[in-house]
Amino acid sequence: MAMTADGKIATANHAVSTFTSRRDFEHLLELRATADAVMSGARTVNSGEVNLGPGPARFRRLRLKKGLAEYNLRVVVSGSGSIDPRADLFRYRFSPVIVLASERLSEGRAKQLRALADAVKICGGEQIDFREALHWLREKWKVRRLLCEGGSELNASLFEAGLVHELHLTVCPKIFGGRAAPTIADGAGVSRLADATRLSLKGMKRAGDELFLRYDVLACKSASGE
Ligand SMILES: NC(=O)c1ccc[n+]([C@@H]2O[C@H](COP(=O)([O-])OP(=O)(O)OC[C@H]3O[C@@H](n4cnc5c(N)ncnc54)[C@H](OP(=O)(O)O)[C@@H]3O)[C@@H](O)[C@H]2O)c1
């Protein structure tokens, strides 16, 4: 995730969410080159040119060198199926696209999405049951390392479920302000300090005016294996 110095990942009106350097974009592609699958929430995918692919040939070569498939799988999270059928993600056919939805998905929408995606998996009633969803991704699609690229609601769900192991954060030299501007994890949030997700800083690099931080998540609820 990339955030401004005041902790925002987009402006309050969501019009601006690309605000980092070229170096940060390369960093994103380097991270994608470590993952079997890349995942985003429906609003992020709907927000513009998001295809979740591995990028240029040198990143695909990096993947092959690491023993990964040349192209990562792409996963979009859309409980009610609000993902736009015209989204870029569906236009590029270089790797399978998987939609994770909940029982809020109507039959009509499910049919439409099944025609566009390689799989539509329903996990959970109102909200997606991510423990079940990630287990299915591992069993059915051999996903061992999943990179989640936000947005805020999806990140919050994963933190809440205790399913995040690492956080890569780029802090950018800007202030957006705006109390409605999203942060890296919105959702309902915790109300007790004891329930906060605790992090340990494992890496820090400065490039120009940007900081690249890498945290391990401590006491991740799924640390025992998933
Ligand atoms: N700066 C950055 O690094 C960065 C990265 C990513 C995104 N962004 C920005 O962040 C904004 C989008 O973030 P966002 O928080 O509004 O949306 P989001 O997390 O991208 O997507 C939210 C949608 O995902 C689905 N979803 C998420 N959690 C779910 C759950 N537990 N169960 C069922 N469905 C779930 C829902 O889809 P349904 O509506 O279909 O139910 C929900 O409406 C955009 O402006 C984007 O550009 C910035």
Tell how far the Cα of 157 is from the centroid of ligand 1, in angstroms.
10
Q: pLDDT confidence of 224, banded at 50, 70, 90?
A: very low
Q: Is residue 161 predicted with pLDDT exceeding 60?
A: yes
Cα–Cα separations (whole angstroms), residue 164 to 20, 25, 139, 179, 217: 23, 22, 19, 26, 7
What pLDDT, on the 0 to 100 scale, is given for residue 17? 84
105, pLDDT greater than 50? yes
- If one residue of 32, 78, 149 were mutated to test the ligand 1 pocket, choosing by the most ligand atoms within 8 A of its CB, it would be 78
pLDDT digits (tens, 9 = 90+) for 134-160: 999 999 999 999 999 999 999 999 999
- For residue 127, the ligand 1 atom closest to its alpha carbon is 32
Q: For ligand 1, what atom is nearest to the CA of residue 170?
A: 3
Class of residue 44 by CB neighbours under 10 A (exposed 0-12, middle 13-18, buried 19+): buried
Encode pLDDT of 81-91 as tens digits. 999 999 999 99
pTM of the full structure: 0.95
- The candidate with the shortest Cα–Cα distance to 216, out of 169, 171, 167, 170, is 167
Q: Class for domain 2-217, per CATH?
A: alpha beta
Q: Which amino acid is at 135?
A: H
How many angstroms does the Cα of residue 12 sit away from the middle of ligand 1? 14
The per-residue pLDDT of the chain, averaged, comes to: 95
The angle formed by the CA atoms of residues 36, 167 and 154, to the nearest 5 degrees, is 75
Q: What is the predicted pLDDT for the residue at 220?
A: 56
**pLDDT at position 89:** 94
pLDDT of residue 48: 84
By C-alpha distance, which of 39, 150, 28, 153 is closest to 20?
28
Q: Where are the domains of the chain?
A: 2-217
**Best residue for ligand 1 mutational test, from 153, 155, 183 (most atoms within 8 Å of Cβ):** 153
Q: Does the Cβ of 151 fall within 6 Å of ligand 1?
A: yes
Alpha helices in 33-174 (DSSP H): 42-46, 57-65, 88-91, 107-116, 130-141, 152-160
Q: Select from 77, 149, 169 the residue to mutate for testing ligand 1; criterion: most ligand atoms less than 8 Å from CB.
A: 77
CA 97 to ligand 1 center in whole angstroms: 17
What is the model's pLDDT at position 226?
45
Are the C-beta atoms of 76 and 55 separated by less than 8 Å? no
Alpha helices by DSSP H, listed for the chain, are: 22-32, 42-46, 57-65, 88-91, 107-116, 130-141, 152-160
Structure tokens at 2: 């990339």
Collapsing DSSP to helix, strand or coil, 169 comes out as strand
